[in-house]
Chain A
Protein backbone atom coordinates (compact mmCIF):
# COMPACT_ATOMS: atom_id res chain seq x y z
CA UNK A 1 0.00 0.00 0.00
CA UNK A 2 1.57 3.27 -1.03
CA UNK A 3 1.90 6.21 1.32
CA UNK A 4 -0.63 8.32 -0.54
CA UNK A 5 -3.14 5.45 -0.37
CA UNK A 6 -2.68 5.42 3.41
CA UNK A 7 -3.75 9.08 3.54
CA UNK A 8 -7.11 8.11 2.04
CA UNK A 9 -7.82 5.23 4.42
CA UNK A 10 -9.07 4.84 7.94
CA UNK A 11 -6.04 4.39 10.21
CA UNK A 12 -5.96 0.89 11.73
CA UNK A 13 -3.11 0.27 14.12
CA UNK A 14 -1.35 -2.77 15.54
CA UNK A 15 0.49 -1.74 18.73
CA UNK A 16 3.56 -3.65 19.91
CA UNK A 17 4.90 -2.38 23.23
CA UNK A 18 3.72 0.41 25.51
CA UNK A 19 0.11 -0.16 26.47
CA UNK A 20 -0.44 3.58 27.02
CA UNK A 21 -0.11 4.18 23.26
CA UNK A 22 -2.88 1.64 22.67
CA UNK A 23 -5.08 3.34 25.27
CA UNK A 24 -4.50 6.81 23.76
CA UNK A 25 -5.44 5.55 20.29
CA UNK A 26 -8.50 3.76 21.59
CA UNK A 27 -9.65 6.90 23.41
CA UNK A 28 -9.63 8.71 20.05
CA UNK A 29 -11.76 6.03 18.46
CA UNK A 30 -8.90 4.57 16.39
CA UNK A 31 -9.23 0.87 15.63
CA UNK A 32 -6.24 -0.64 17.39
CA UNK A 33 -5.12 -4.11 18.42
CA UNK A 34 -2.62 -4.55 21.25
CA UNK A 35 -0.18 -7.42 20.78
CA UNK A 36 0.55 -9.41 23.93
CA UNK A 37 4.21 -9.05 23.04
CA UNK A 38 7.05 -11.03 24.59
CA UNK A 39 10.63 -11.31 23.36
CA UNK A 40 10.82 -14.16 20.88
CA UNK A 41 12.82 -17.24 21.95
CA UNK A 42 12.76 -15.93 25.53
CA UNK A 43 15.00 -13.08 24.37
CA UNK A 44 18.04 -15.37 24.22
CA UNK A 45 20.52 -13.92 21.74
CA UNK A 46 21.75 -17.19 20.21
CA UNK A 47 18.19 -18.44 19.70
CA UNK A 48 17.18 -15.10 18.16
CA UNK A 49 20.10 -15.26 15.73
CA UNK A 50 19.09 -18.78 14.79
CA UNK A 51 15.46 -17.71 14.25
CA UNK A 52 16.52 -14.80 12.10
CA UNK A 53 18.69 -17.11 9.95
CA UNK A 54 15.79 -19.55 9.58
CA UNK A 55 13.50 -16.71 8.49
CA UNK A 56 16.00 -15.58 5.87
CA UNK A 57 16.27 -19.14 4.51
CA UNK A 58 12.45 -19.33 4.40
CA UNK A 59 12.24 -16.04 2.50
CA UNK A 60 14.90 -17.00 -0.05
Chain B
Protein backbone atom coordinates (compact mmCIF):
# COMPACT_ATOMS: atom_id res chain seq x y z
CA UNK B 1 0.00 0.00 0.00
CA UNK B 2 1.31 3.45 -0.82
CA UNK B 3 0.09 6.81 0.39
CA UNK B 4 -0.80 9.41 -2.24
CA UNK B 5 -2.07 12.94 -1.83
CA UNK B 6 -3.81 15.10 -4.37
CA UNK B 7 -4.44 18.79 -3.64
CA UNK B 8 -6.76 21.20 -5.40
CA UNK B 9 -6.17 24.81 -4.36
CA UNK B 10 -9.06 27.26 -3.90
CA UNK B 11 -11.76 24.64 -4.43
CA UNK B 12 -14.31 24.76 -1.62
CA UNK B 13 -16.94 22.05 -1.02
CA UNK B 14 -19.08 21.53 2.06
CA UNK B 15 -18.17 18.89 4.62
CA UNK B 16 -21.19 16.61 4.21
CA UNK B 17 -20.68 16.40 0.43
CA UNK B 18 -17.03 15.46 0.96
CA UNK B 19 -17.71 12.95 3.74
CA UNK B 20 -20.23 11.15 1.55
CA UNK B 21 -17.75 11.22 -1.35
CA UNK B 22 -15.03 9.75 0.90
CA UNK B 23 -17.33 6.84 1.61
CA UNK B 24 -17.94 6.21 -2.10
CA UNK B 25 -14.19 6.28 -2.84
CA UNK B 26 -13.58 3.87 0.05
CA UNK B 27 -15.59 1.25 -1.87
CA UNK B 28 -13.14 1.24 -4.84
CA UNK B 29 -11.15 -1.95 -5.35
CA UNK B 30 -7.55 -1.40 -4.23
CA UNK B 31 -8.32 1.55 -1.91
CA UNK B 32 -7.39 0.66 1.67
CA UNK B 33 -8.21 4.01 3.24
CA UNK B 34 -9.15 7.40 1.86
CA UNK B 35 -10.06 10.82 3.22
CA UNK B 36 -11.37 13.74 1.20
CA UNK B 37 -11.67 17.07 2.98
CA UNK B 38 -10.91 20.76 3.12
CA UNK B 39 -7.64 21.71 4.82
CA UNK B 40 -9.21 22.70 8.15
CA UNK B 41 -7.39 21.99 11.43
CA UNK B 42 -10.04 19.38 12.24
CA UNK B 43 -9.50 17.49 8.97
CA UNK B 44 -5.71 17.76 9.15
CA UNK B 45 -5.77 16.22 12.66
CA UNK B 46 -8.05 13.46 11.44
CA UNK B 47 -5.75 12.71 8.47
CA UNK B 48 -2.78 12.50 10.87
CA UNK B 49 -4.69 10.12 13.19
CA UNK B 50 -5.60 7.92 10.23
CA UNK B 51 -1.99 7.89 9.00
CA UNK B 52 -3.03 9.67 5.81
CA UNK B 53 -1.11 12.93 6.26
CA UNK B 54 1.94 13.73 4.14
CA UNK B 55 4.51 16.55 4.03
CA UNK B 56 2.35 18.53 1.60
CA UNK B 57 -0.28 18.96 4.32
CA UNK B 58 1.76 21.78 5.86
CA UNK B 59 0.86 23.98 2.88
CA UNK B 60 -2.92 23.43 3.07
CA UNK B 61 -5.41 26.16 3.93
CA UNK B 62 -9.13 25.68 4.74
CA UNK B 63 -9.79 26.75 1.15
CA UNK B 64 -7.82 23.83 -0.34
CA UNK B 65 -9.29 20.43 -1.06
CA UNK B 66 -7.22 17.30 -0.46
CA UNK B 67 -7.65 13.66 -1.38
CA UNK B 68 -5.37 11.41 0.70
CA UNK B 69 -5.50 7.72 -0.14
CA UNK B 70 -3.63 4.53 0.75
CA UNK B 71 -3.86 2.42 -2.37
CA UNK B 72 -2.60 -0.84 -3.83
CA UNK B 73 -1.04 0.36 -7.07
CA UNK B 74 -1.34 -3.11 -8.57
CA UNK B 75 -5.11 -2.60 -8.52
CA UNK B 76 -5.70 1.14 -8.84
CA UNK B 77 -3.78 4.33 -9.59
CA UNK B 78 -4.16 7.69 -7.84
CA UNK B 79 -5.31 9.10 -11.19
CA UNK B 80 -8.22 6.63 -11.15
CA UNK B 81 -9.10 7.67 -7.58
CA UNK B 82 -9.11 11.33 -8.68
CA UNK B 83 -11.26 10.51 -11.72
CA UNK B 84 -13.71 8.64 -9.50
CA UNK B 85 -13.83 11.68 -7.21
CA UNK B 86 -14.66 14.01 -10.11
CA UNK B 87 -17.30 11.57 -11.37
CA UNK B 88 -18.95 11.36 -7.93
CA UNK B 89 -18.77 15.12 -7.50
CA UNK B 90 -20.52 15.65 -10.86
CA UNK B 91 -23.17 13.11 -9.91
CA UNK B 92 -23.78 14.95 -6.65
CA UNK B 93 -24.04 18.30 -8.52
CA UNK B 94 -26.45 16.76 -11.06
CA UNK B 95 -28.71 15.42 -8.32
CA UNK B 96 -28.83 18.96 -6.90
CA UNK B 97 -30.29 19.96 -10.28
CA UNK B 98 -29.66 23.59 -9.49
CA UNK B 99 -28.32 26.16 -11.87
CA UNK B 100 -29.42 29.19 -9.82
CA UNK B 101 -27.05 32.11 -9.42
CA UNK B 102 -25.01 31.73 -6.24
CA UNK B 103 -23.72 35.05 -4.94
CA UNK B 104 -20.21 34.91 -3.46
CA UNK B 105 -20.93 36.50 -0.07
CA UNK B 106 -23.65 37.12 2.47
CA UNK B 107 -23.74 40.79 1.53
CA UNK B 108 -24.29 40.08 -2.17
CA UNK B 109 -26.87 37.38 -1.33
CA UNK B 110 -28.88 39.88 0.69
CA UNK B 111 -28.79 42.25 -2.29
CA UNK B 112 -29.92 39.41 -4.57
CA UNK B 113 -32.83 38.47 -2.28
CA UNK B 114 -34.86 41.55 -1.34
CA UNK B 115 -36.77 40.95 1.89
CA UNK B 116 -34.37 38.24 3.11
CA UNK B 117 -35.10 37.70 6.80
CA UNK B 118 -33.28 34.52 7.85
CA UNK B 119 -29.67 33.41 7.43
CA UNK B 120 -28.89 29.73 7.82
CA UNK B 121 -25.23 29.17 8.67
CA UNK B 122 -23.56 25.74 8.47
CA UNK B 123 -20.01 26.68 7.45
CA UNK B 124 -17.06 25.31 9.51
CA UNK B 125 -17.27 26.59 13.09
CA UNK B 126 -14.10 28.68 13.00
CA UNK B 127 -15.62 30.91 10.27
CA UNK B 128 -19.23 30.88 11.50
CA UNK B 129 -19.16 33.65 14.13
CA UNK B 130 -17.99 36.29 11.64
CA UNK B 131 -20.79 35.42 9.22
CA UNK B 132 -23.40 35.44 12.01
CA UNK B 133 -22.19 38.82 13.19
CA UNK B 134 -22.52 40.24 9.70
CA UNK B 135 -26.08 38.84 9.43
CA UNK B 136 -27.14 40.27 12.79
CA UNK B 137 -25.60 43.63 11.91
CA UNK B 138 -27.73 43.60 8.76
CA UNK B 139 -30.84 43.05 10.94
CA UNK B 140 -31.35 39.42 9.90
CA UNK B 141 -32.43 36.46 12.04
CA UNK B 142 -29.95 33.59 12.23
CA UNK B 143 -30.04 29.85 12.57
CA UNK B 144 -26.51 28.66 13.35
CA UNK B 145 -26.17 24.94 12.63
CA UNK B 146 -22.36 24.91 12.87
CA UNK B 147 -20.69 23.60 16.00
CA UNK B 148 -17.19 24.41 17.28
CA UNK B 149 -18.20 28.01 18.01
CA UNK B 150 -16.77 29.30 21.31
CA UNK B 151 -18.96 30.11 24.32
CA UNK B 152 -17.56 33.66 24.22
CA UNK B 153 -18.68 34.11 20.61
CA UNK B 154 -22.08 32.58 21.40
CA UNK B 155 -22.62 34.96 24.30
CA UNK B 156 -21.54 38.02 22.33
CA UNK B 157 -23.71 37.11 19.32
CA UNK B 158 -26.76 36.29 21.42
CA UNK B 159 -26.42 39.54 23.36
CA UNK B 160 -26.35 41.38 20.04
CA UNK B 161 -29.39 39.43 18.81
CA UNK B 162 -31.39 40.18 21.97
CA UNK B 163 -30.46 43.87 21.74
CA UNK B 164 -31.83 43.93 18.18
CA UNK B 165 -34.84 41.69 18.86
CA UNK B 166 -33.49 39.00 16.53
CA UNK B 167 -33.23 35.24 16.69
CA UNK B 168 -29.78 33.68 17.01
CA UNK B 169 -30.64 30.00 17.19
CA UNK B 170 -27.49 27.98 17.93
CA UNK B 171 -24.66 27.18 17.69
CA UNK B 172 -25.20 23.49 17.05
CA UNK B 173 -28.91 24.14 16.52
CA UNK B 174 -30.36 21.36 14.38
CA UNK B 175 -34.09 21.99 14.48
CA UNK B 176 -36.50 24.87 13.97
CA UNK B 177 -39.81 25.43 12.21
CA UNK B 178 -40.43 29.09 11.43
CA UNK B 179 -43.73 30.14 9.86
CA UNK B 180 -44.45 26.49 9.07
CA UNK B 181 -41.16 25.96 7.24
CA UNK B 182 -38.86 23.28 8.69
CA UNK B 183 -35.20 24.34 8.86
CA UNK B 184 -32.27 21.85 8.89
CA UNK B 185 -33.41 18.66 10.68
CA UNK B 186 -37.11 19.01 11.28
CA UNK B 187 -40.23 17.05 10.54
CA UNK B 188 -43.11 18.00 8.33
CA UNK B 189 -45.92 18.81 10.76
CA UNK B 190 -49.15 20.71 10.42
CA UNK B 191 -49.44 24.29 11.60
CA UNK B 192 -51.38 24.97 14.75
CA UNK B 193 -51.54 26.74 18.08
CA UNK B 194 -48.68 25.13 20.05
CA UNK B 195 -45.36 27.00 20.15
CA UNK B 196 -42.12 25.29 21.15
CA UNK B 197 -38.74 26.55 22.30
CA UNK B 198 -36.23 23.73 22.45
CA UNK B 199 -32.59 23.40 23.44
CA UNK B 200 -32.53 19.69 22.50
CA UNK B 201 -32.69 18.83 18.80
CA UNK B 202 -34.29 15.40 18.55
CA UNK B 203 -36.22 16.11 21.76
CA UNK B 204 -37.87 18.98 19.98
CA UNK B 205 -38.47 16.80 16.90
CA UNK B 206 -40.12 14.08 19.02
CA UNK B 207 -42.45 16.59 20.72
CA UNK B 208 -43.50 18.20 17.42
CA UNK B 209 -44.08 14.77 15.84
CA UNK B 210 -46.21 13.61 18.78
CA UNK B 211 -48.25 16.85 18.71
CA UNK B 212 -48.89 16.24 15.00
CA UNK B 213 -49.89 12.60 15.64
CA UNK B 214 -52.41 13.82 18.22
CA UNK B 215 -54.07 15.94 15.55
CA UNK B 216 -52.77 19.33 16.68
CA UNK B 217 -50.15 21.56 15.09
CA UNK B 218 -47.29 23.95 15.71
CA UNK B 219 -47.22 27.73 15.42
CA UNK B 220 -43.46 28.28 15.75
CA UNK B 221 -40.62 25.97 16.79
CA UNK B 222 -37.59 27.90 17.95
CA UNK B 223 -34.24 26.18 18.57
CA UNK B 224 -31.70 27.63 20.95
CA UNK B 225 -28.62 25.39 20.71
CA UNK B 226 -27.68 23.01 23.54
CA UNK B 227 -25.60 25.46 25.60
CA UNK B 228 -28.21 28.21 25.84
CA UNK B 229 -29.44 27.26 29.32
CA UNK B 230 -25.99 26.95 30.80
CA UNK B 231 -24.95 29.67 33.22
CA UNK B 232 -22.50 31.33 30.79
CA UNK B 233 -25.23 32.05 28.22
CA UNK B 234 -28.02 32.55 30.75
CA UNK B 235 -30.84 31.20 28.56
CA UNK B 236 -30.78 34.32 26.36
CA UNK B 237 -32.41 32.65 23.36
CA UNK B 238 -34.90 30.54 25.32
CA UNK B 239 -36.08 33.69 27.09
CA UNK B 240 -36.21 35.62 23.80
CA UNK B 241 -38.16 32.79 22.14
CA UNK B 242 -40.44 32.27 25.15
CA UNK B 243 -41.37 35.97 25.31
CA UNK B 244 -41.96 36.15 21.56
CA UNK B 245 -44.37 33.19 21.77
CA UNK B 246 -46.20 34.83 24.67
CA UNK B 247 -46.64 37.87 22.41
CA UNK B 248 -47.55 35.80 19.33
CA UNK B 249 -51.32 35.85 18.67
CA UNK B 250 -51.08 32.55 16.74
CA UNK B 251 -49.70 30.70 19.79
CA UNK B 252 -52.09 29.56 22.55
CA UNK B 253 -49.77 27.24 24.51
CA UNK B 254 -46.00 27.07 24.92
CA UNK B 255 -43.75 24.02 25.37
CA UNK B 256 -40.18 24.44 26.63
CA UNK B 257 -37.70 21.57 26.13
CA UNK B 258 -34.18 21.29 27.49
CA UNK B 259 -31.87 19.20 29.60
CA UNK B 260 -31.97 20.52 33.20
CA UNK B 261 -30.82 24.17 33.02
CA UNK B 262 -28.34 25.86 35.36
CA UNK B 263 -30.31 26.72 38.55
CA UNK B 264 -30.06 30.49 38.03
CA UNK B 265 -31.23 30.17 34.42
CA UNK B 266 -34.09 27.85 35.41
CA UNK B 267 -35.21 30.44 37.96
CA UNK B 268 -35.37 33.19 35.29
CA UNK B 269 -37.48 30.95 33.07
CA UNK B 270 -39.78 29.95 35.93
CA UNK B 271 -40.41 33.61 36.69
CA UNK B 272 -41.52 34.26 33.09
CA UNK B 273 -43.69 31.10 33.22
CA UNK B 274 -45.26 32.36 36.45
CA UNK B 275 -46.60 35.48 34.75
CA UNK B 276 -47.31 33.91 31.36
CA UNK B 277 -50.95 34.43 30.33
CA UNK B 278 -50.68 31.25 28.25
CA UNK B 279 -50.30 27.70 29.63
CA UNK B 280 -46.67 26.54 29.70
CA UNK B 281 -45.57 22.89 29.51
CA UNK B 282 -41.98 22.32 30.63
CA UNK B 283 -39.91 19.22 29.87
CA UNK B 284 -36.49 19.83 31.40
CA UNK B 285 -35.64 16.14 30.88
CA UNK B 286 -35.11 14.98 34.48
CA UNK B 287 -35.72 18.54 35.77
CA UNK B 288 -37.17 19.82 39.06
CA UNK B 289 -40.87 18.88 39.03
CA UNK B 290 -41.78 20.75 42.23
CA UNK B 291 -40.24 24.00 40.98
CA UNK B 292 -42.17 23.76 37.71
CA UNK B 293 -45.46 23.09 39.51
CA UNK B 294 -44.77 25.90 41.98
CA UNK B 295 -44.98 28.49 39.17
CA UNK B 296 -48.15 27.00 37.74
CA UNK B 297 -46.44 25.39 34.74
CA UNK B 298 -47.02 21.77 33.67
CA UNK B 299 -44.17 19.30 34.32
CA UNK B 300 -43.62 16.18 32.19
CA UNK B 301 -42.07 12.74 32.51
CA UNK B 302 -41.15 12.23 28.86
CA UNK B 303 -41.15 13.97 25.49
CA UNK B 304 -44.33 12.12 24.53
CA UNK B 305 -45.90 13.13 27.85
CA UNK B 306 -45.05 16.78 27.06
CA UNK B 307 -46.89 16.54 23.74
CA UNK B 308 -49.89 14.78 25.28
CA UNK B 309 -50.21 17.29 28.12
CA UNK B 310 -49.79 20.21 25.71
CA UNK B 311 -52.62 18.95 23.50
CA UNK B 312 -54.90 18.11 26.44
CA UNK B 313 -54.24 21.45 28.16
CA UNK B 314 -54.93 23.23 24.88
CA UNK B 315 -58.30 21.46 24.67
CA UNK B 316 -59.03 22.21 28.33
CA UNK B 317 -58.99 18.49 29.18
CA UNK B 318 -57.68 16.92 32.39
CA UNK B 319 -54.36 15.07 32.21
CA UNK B 320 -52.12 12.76 34.21
CA UNK B 321 -48.56 11.60 33.69
CA UNK B 322 -48.53 9.15 30.78
CA UNK B 323 -46.51 6.24 32.16
CA UNK B 324 -47.92 3.39 30.11
CA UNK B 325 -48.52 2.27 26.56
CA UNK B 326 -50.97 3.12 23.79
CA UNK B 327 -51.68 -0.62 23.47
CA UNK B 328 -53.63 -2.44 26.20
CA UNK B 329 -51.54 -3.76 29.08
CA UNK B 330 -52.33 -7.45 28.39
CA UNK B 331 -51.16 -6.98 24.79
CA UNK B 332 -47.86 -5.53 26.05
CA UNK B 333 -47.47 -8.48 28.45
CA UNK B 334 -48.03 -10.81 25.53
CA UNK B 335 -45.28 -9.04 23.52
CA UNK B 336 -42.92 -9.37 26.50
CA UNK B 337 -43.78 -13.10 26.90
CA UNK B 338 -43.24 -13.99 23.25
CA UNK B 339 -40.09 -11.86 23.04
CA UNK B 340 -38.41 -13.44 26.04
CA UNK B 341 -39.51 -16.94 24.98
CA UNK B 342 -37.43 -16.78 21.82
CA UNK B 343 -34.19 -16.00 23.68
CA UNK B 344 -31.66 -18.53 24.98
CA UNK B 345 -30.64 -18.36 28.64
CA UNK B 346 -27.25 -16.74 27.91
CA UNK B 347 -28.85 -13.87 25.95
CA UNK B 348 -29.16 -11.12 28.54
CA UNK B 349 -27.67 -7.91 27.18
CA UNK B 350 -29.06 -4.69 25.72
CA UNK B 351 -27.64 -2.90 22.70
CA UNK B 352 -29.37 0.49 22.41
CA UNK B 353 -27.98 2.33 19.38
CA UNK B 354 -29.37 5.85 18.99
CA UNK B 355 -28.88 8.46 16.29
CA UNK B 356 -30.84 11.15 18.19
CA UNK B 357 -29.04 12.61 21.23
CA UNK B 358 -32.08 13.59 23.30
CA UNK B 359 -33.79 10.29 22.51
CA UNK B 360 -30.70 8.53 23.89
CA UNK B 361 -30.80 10.78 26.98
CA UNK B 362 -34.43 9.87 27.55
CA UNK B 363 -33.61 6.15 27.25
CA UNK B 364 -30.72 6.44 29.71
CA UNK B 365 -32.92 8.15 32.33
CA UNK B 366 -35.55 5.38 32.20
CA UNK B 367 -33.34 2.31 31.74
CA UNK B 368 -30.83 3.50 34.35
CA UNK B 369 -33.44 3.09 37.10
CA UNK B 370 -33.51 -0.73 36.88
CA UNK B 371 -30.38 -1.65 34.94
CA UNK B 372 -26.67 -0.90 34.85
CA UNK B 373 -26.17 0.76 31.48
CA UNK B 374 -22.71 1.51 30.06
CA UNK B 375 -22.72 4.49 27.74
CA UNK B 376 -20.86 7.35 26.11
CA UNK B 377 -23.44 9.55 27.90
CA UNK B 378 -23.34 7.69 31.25
CA UNK B 379 -25.56 8.58 34.22
CA UNK B 380 -22.46 8.38 36.45
CA UNK B 381 -18.74 8.41 35.53
CA UNK B 382 -18.14 4.77 36.53
CA UNK B 383 -20.71 3.69 33.92
CA UNK B 384 -18.69 5.20 31.05
CA UNK B 385 -18.45 2.87 28.07
CA UNK B 386 -14.67 2.63 28.57
CA UNK B 387 -15.35 0.83 31.90
CA UNK B 388 -17.45 -1.94 30.32
CA UNK B 389 -16.12 -5.11 32.00
CA UNK B 390 -14.65 -7.43 29.35
CA UNK B 391 -16.96 -5.97 26.75
CA UNK B 392 -19.97 -7.55 28.53
CA UNK B 393 -23.01 -5.67 29.88
CA UNK B 394 -25.86 -3.44 28.76
CA UNK B 395 -24.81 -0.73 26.30
CA UNK B 396 -26.64 2.43 25.22
CA UNK B 397 -24.85 4.74 22.79
CA UNK B 398 -25.58 8.16 21.34
CA UNK B 399 -23.91 7.63 17.95
CA UNK B 400 -24.32 11.31 17.07
CA UNK B 401 -21.73 12.37 19.66
CA UNK B 402 -18.45 13.85 18.40
CA UNK B 403 -16.40 10.71 19.15
CA UNK B 404 -18.38 8.78 16.50
CA UNK B 405 -18.76 11.52 13.91
CA UNK B 406 -15.15 12.59 13.29
CA UNK B 407 -14.71 12.76 9.54
CA UNK B 408 -18.06 11.14 8.82
CA UNK B 409 -21.60 12.44 8.55
CA UNK B 410 -23.99 12.37 11.50
CA UNK B 411 -25.77 8.98 11.67
CA UNK B 412 -29.10 10.69 10.95
CA UNK B 413 -27.66 11.75 7.56
CA UNK B 414 -25.81 8.52 6.77
CA UNK B 415 -26.71 5.19 8.42
CA UNK B 416 -23.22 3.72 7.91
CA UNK B 417 -21.98 4.36 11.47
CA UNK B 418 -24.90 2.52 13.04
CA UNK B 419 -24.67 -0.27 10.45
CA UNK B 420 -21.07 -0.82 11.58
CA UNK B 421 -22.11 -0.82 15.27
CA UNK B 422 -24.78 -3.43 14.52
CA UNK B 423 -22.00 -5.59 13.11
CA UNK B 424 -19.47 -4.99 15.87
CA UNK B 425 -21.65 -4.72 18.99
CA UNK B 426 -24.47 -7.21 18.50
CA UNK B 427 -23.46 -10.81 19.24
CA UNK B 428 -24.70 -14.11 20.69
CA UNK B 429 -25.17 -12.56 24.16
CA UNK B 430 -27.45 -9.78 22.90
CA UNK B 431 -31.07 -10.12 23.98
CA UNK B 432 -32.56 -6.77 22.99
CA UNK B 433 -31.67 -4.18 20.38
CA UNK B 434 -33.29 -0.76 20.85
CA UNK B 435 -33.15 1.87 18.11
CA UNK B 436 -34.60 5.20 17.07
CA UNK B 437 -35.48 5.96 13.45
CA UNK B 438 -35.55 9.69 12.80
CA UNK B 439 -37.32 10.90 9.64
CA UNK B 440 -37.72 14.41 8.32
CA UNK B 441 -35.80 17.04 6.40
CA UNK B 442 -32.04 16.58 6.59
CA UNK B 443 -32.34 12.88 7.51
CA UNK B 444 -31.30 9.94 5.33
CA UNK B 445 -33.77 9.02 2.59
CA UNK B 446 -34.66 5.62 4.09
CA UNK B 447 -33.43 5.21 7.67
CA UNK B 448 -36.00 2.49 8.42
CA UNK B 449 -34.85 0.45 5.42
CA UNK B 450 -31.23 0.68 6.61
CA UNK B 451 -32.18 -0.57 10.10
CA UNK B 452 -34.32 -3.36 8.61
CA UNK B 453 -31.42 -4.52 6.40
CA UNK B 454 -29.06 -4.60 9.39
CA UNK B 455 -31.56 -6.54 11.49
CA UNK B 456 -32.04 -9.13 8.72
CA UNK B 457 -28.27 -9.55 8.54
CA UNK B 458 -28.06 -9.92 12.36
CA UNK B 459 -30.85 -12.52 12.40
CA UNK B 460 -29.11 -14.51 9.67
CA UNK B 461 -25.84 -14.37 11.61
CA UNK B 462 -27.45 -15.43 14.93
CA UNK B 463 -29.53 -18.16 13.32
CA UNK B 464 -26.32 -20.09 12.65
CA UNK B 465 -26.10 -20.47 16.43
CA UNK B 466 -29.79 -21.30 16.71
CA UNK B 467 -30.52 -17.88 18.18
CA UNK B 468 -32.78 -14.90 17.56
CA UNK B 469 -32.93 -11.40 19.06
CA UNK B 470 -35.63 -8.96 20.16
CA UNK B 471 -35.57 -5.67 18.26
CA UNK B 472 -37.59 -2.67 19.47
CA UNK B 473 -37.85 0.64 17.63
CA UNK B 474 -39.73 3.91 17.51
CA UNK B 475 -40.02 6.21 14.53
CA UNK B 476 -39.71 9.97 15.04
CA UNK B 477 -41.60 11.07 11.95
CA UNK B 478 -44.95 11.91 10.43
CA UNK B 479 -47.12 10.91 7.48
CA UNK B 480 -46.06 14.19 5.85
CA UNK B 481 -42.31 13.47 5.99
CA UNK B 482 -40.81 12.48 2.64
CA UNK B 483 -39.67 9.13 4.14
CA UNK B 484 -43.30 8.55 5.28
CA UNK B 485 -44.04 7.30 8.78
CA UNK B 486 -46.32 4.43 7.69
CA UNK B 487 -43.95 3.16 5.01
CA UNK B 488 -41.11 3.26 7.55
CA UNK B 489 -43.11 1.30 10.13
CA UNK B 490 -44.07 -1.30 7.50
CA UNK B 491 -40.45 -1.69 6.48
CA UNK B 492 -39.35 -2.21 10.12
CA UNK B 493 -42.18 -4.63 10.91
CA UNK B 494 -41.41 -6.65 7.80
CA UNK B 495 -37.99 -7.32 9.38
CA UNK B 496 -39.66 -8.56 12.59
CA UNK B 497 -38.99 -5.33 14.52
CA UNK B 498 -41.47 -4.32 17.24
CA UNK B 499 -42.41 -0.69 16.56
CA UNK B 500 -43.82 1.46 19.37
CA UNK B 501 -45.48 4.84 18.78
CA UNK B 502 -42.92 6.90 20.74
CA UNK B 503 -39.38 6.75 22.06
CA UNK B 504 -40.71 6.72 25.65
CA UNK B 505 -42.87 3.66 24.96
CA UNK B 506 -40.09 1.82 23.09
CA UNK B 507 -37.78 2.44 26.05
CA UNK B 508 -40.44 1.30 28.53
CA UNK B 509 -41.02 -1.94 26.62
CA UNK B 510 -37.26 -2.54 26.52
CA UNK B 511 -37.18 -2.02 30.29
CA UNK B 512 -39.98 -4.58 30.76
CA UNK B 513 -38.23 -7.19 28.59
CA UNK B 514 -34.93 -6.70 30.41
CA UNK B 515 -36.63 -6.94 33.79
CA UNK B 516 -38.31 -10.19 32.76
CA UNK B 517 -34.95 -11.59 31.57
CA UNK B 518 -33.38 -10.59 34.90
CA UNK B 519 -36.11 -12.38 36.84
CA UNK B 520 -35.71 -15.43 34.61
CA UNK B 521 -38.24 -16.19 31.95
Contacts and interface: CB of A to CB of B under 8 A. Distances in A.
Contacts of B39: 43
A37 B13 CA distance: 9
A12 B115 contact: yes
B165 interface: yes
Interface stretch (B122-130, B345-353, B375-383, B384-392): B122-130
Contacts of B178: 6-7, 11
B166 interface: yes
Given A14-B110, A21-B442, A40-B127, A3 B167 contact: yes
Interface stretch (B73-81, B98-106, B454-462, B491-499): B98-106
A16 B61 CA distance: 19
B117 interface: yes
A2 B165 contact: yes
Say which size band chain A's interface belongs to. 35 or more
Contacts of A12: 113, 115-118
Interface stretch (B240-248, B282-290, B303-311): B240-248
A contact patch SS: mixed
A1 interface: yes
Interface stretch (B138-146, B200-208, B266-274): B138-146
Contacts of B140: 1, 14
B220 A7 contact: yes
Contacts of A9: 115, 117, 179
Contacts of B17: 18-19
A1 B166 contact: yes
Given A35-B103, A36-B102, A39-B63, A17 B146 contact: yes
A30 to B, nearest CB: 5
Interface in B152-173: 165-167
A50 interface: no
Q: Which of A6, A22, A42, A52 has the most CB of B within 10 A?
A: A6
A3 B141 contact: yes
Nearest to B413: A20
A46 to B, nearest CB: 11
Interface pairs A-B: 7 shortest CB-CB: A43-B62, A17-B122, A36-B102, A2-B165, A3-B244, A38-B12, A17-B123
12 contacts: A3-B241, A14-B110, A17-B146, A18-B17, A22-B98, A33-B112, A35-B108, A38-B12, A39-B127, A43-B39, A44-B61, A59-B137
